[in-house]
Protein backbone atom coordinates (compact mmCIF):
# COMPACT_ATOMS: atom_id res chain seq x y z
CA UNK A 1 0.00 0.00 0.00
CA UNK A 2 2.84 2.38 0.82
CA UNK A 3 4.41 1.90 -2.64
CA UNK A 4 1.09 2.65 -4.31
CA UNK A 5 0.80 5.87 -2.34
CA UNK A 6 4.36 6.86 -3.24
CA UNK A 7 3.64 6.24 -6.92
CA UNK A 8 0.44 8.27 -6.76
CA UNK A 9 2.25 11.16 -5.10
CA UNK A 10 5.06 10.97 -7.67
CA UNK A 11 2.55 11.12 -10.52
CA UNK A 12 0.82 14.12 -8.96
CA UNK A 13 4.12 15.95 -8.44
CA UNK A 14 5.14 15.26 -12.04
CA UNK A 15 1.82 16.59 -13.28
CA UNK A 16 2.17 19.78 -11.22
CA UNK A 17 5.72 20.32 -12.51
CA UNK A 18 4.56 19.97 -16.10
CA UNK A 19 1.75 22.47 -15.52
CA UNK A 20 4.15 24.94 -13.90
CA UNK A 21 6.57 24.61 -16.81
CA UNK A 22 3.76 25.20 -19.29
CA UNK A 23 2.64 28.34 -17.44
CA UNK A 24 6.23 29.64 -17.33
CA UNK A 25 6.57 29.08 -21.08
CA UNK A 26 3.31 30.90 -21.76
CA UNK A 27 4.43 33.82 -19.57
CA UNK A 28 7.72 34.04 -21.48
CA UNK A 29 5.91 34.04 -24.82
CA UNK A 30 3.58 36.77 -23.56
CA UNK A 31 6.56 38.91 -22.53
CA UNK A 32 8.12 38.36 -25.96
CA UNK A 33 4.91 39.49 -27.65
CA UNK A 34 4.84 42.61 -25.49
CA UNK A 35 8.49 43.37 -26.25
CA UNK A 36 7.93 43.14 -30.00
CA UNK A 37 4.87 45.34 -29.72
CA UNK A 38 6.72 47.95 -27.69
CA UNK A 39 10.18 47.93 -29.30
CA UNK A 40 9.20 47.41 -32.93
CA UNK A 41 5.70 48.90 -32.84
CA UNK A 42 4.21 45.59 -33.97
CA UNK A 43 0.54 44.85 -33.55
CA UNK A 44 -0.28 41.82 -31.42
CA UNK A 45 -0.96 39.82 -34.58
CA UNK A 46 2.35 40.86 -36.16
CA UNK A 47 4.24 39.95 -33.00
CA UNK A 48 2.62 36.53 -32.78
CA UNK A 49 3.28 35.89 -36.46
CA UNK A 50 6.94 36.84 -35.96
CA UNK A 51 7.12 34.36 -33.07
CA UNK A 52 5.42 31.64 -35.16
CA UNK A 53 2.60 31.21 -32.66
CA UNK A 54 -0.06 28.96 -34.19
CA UNK A 55 -3.25 30.83 -35.10
CA UNK A 56 -5.48 28.68 -32.84
CA UNK A 57 -3.33 29.65 -29.82
CA UNK A 58 -3.34 33.39 -30.46
CA UNK A 59 -6.67 34.24 -28.87
CA UNK A 60 -5.40 33.03 -25.50
CA UNK A 61 -2.47 35.43 -25.65
CA UNK A 62 -4.59 38.31 -26.89
CA UNK A 63 -6.90 37.90 -23.90
CA UNK A 64 -3.88 38.23 -21.59
CA UNK A 65 -2.45 41.39 -23.16
Residue 42 counted as domain residue: yes
Residue 43 counted as domain residue: yes
pLDDT at residue number 5: 76
pLDDT at residue number 31: 97
Q: What pLDDT, in 10s, does the model give residues 11-62? A: 889 889 999 999 999 999 999 999 999 999 999 999 999 999 999 999 999 9
Tell me the residue range of the domain where 43 lies: 29-65
Q: Give the dihedral sign, CA 38/41/45/48.
A: negative
- Return the number of other C-beta atoms located less than 10 Å from residue 47's C-beta: 24
Residue 18 counted as domain residue: no
Task: Specify the pTM.
Answer: 0.79
Q: What pLDDT, in 10s, does the model give residues 31-42? A: 999 999 999 999
Residue 7 counted as domain residue: no
Instruction: Give me the number of domains the chain comprises.
Output: 1
Amino acid sequence: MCEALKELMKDEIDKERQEAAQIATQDTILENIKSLMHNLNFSAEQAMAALNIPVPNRSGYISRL
